[in-house]
Structure formats: structure tokens, C-alpha cells
A = this chain, B = another copy of it.
């Protein structure tokens, strides 16, 4: 789903043109991001557990394919939602954590998680 295009919800003049409805276009970007596999759990885990290592994420999330986690982490980083810190140790250690944007997202996601848990 490309994000730059006109979405029809803000350009539509046919339906209730005088009521100012919200435009849902910006949401699609976020949804696109967090709807990818493991993305939401990553954000949630980092939010509740703090900085977490690659390997820990693999286990906690039950990641099947390692490459998928790698891809997802890179995507979330370029979205500016998480950040990566690597330590010069042997064996190597890398920790991922939420950026302030990521935290903001995690907070606004929480009502959803709680509701999903009940239901």
C-alpha cells in the first residue's frame, strides 16, 4: 500500500462534503508498519521489558525465520520507532529499545492490547 497517493477519504466530495471527517490516510502508514509479522509484539515487548537482545526477541516472539526478525527490526528502525545499540564484546551483544516515538506508539497501542486480551 503506497502512502503518498490520494486516498479518497479526504478528496471525496460526494459524501457529506460539509461535515469535516477525519482523514484516515496517515493511519495507513502506521498500520502498514505494525501489521507486519512480529512488529507489534516487538514494540510491546520492548515497551514492557526495556532494551532487549536479538536472541531474546527471537525466543520471546517464537520467531520461526531469523531473517524475518532481522527485516522487521530494520523496518522499525527506519520508521524511527526502535533503536539499536551494539556493544563491543565477545560474544557480540546488541540491544534494541524503543525511541520516544516508539514509546508513544506503545502507549496508544495498550488499550487495544488490553481489550484483545479480555476478548
Interface residues of A, Cβ cutoff 8 Å to B: 1, 6-9, 11-12, 14-16, 21-24, 26-32, 34-35, 37, 40-41, 44-45, 48-49, 56, 59-63, 101, 104-105, 107-109, 111-113, 115-117, 119
Contact = CB atoms under 8 A, between A and B. Distances in A.
Copies of this chain in its oligomeric complex: 2
Contact of A44 (B16, B24, B61, B109): B24
A12 B59 contact: yes
Given A59-B12, A119-B101, A49 B29 contact: no
A9 B116 contact: no
B112 A30 contact: yes
Nearest to A105: B115
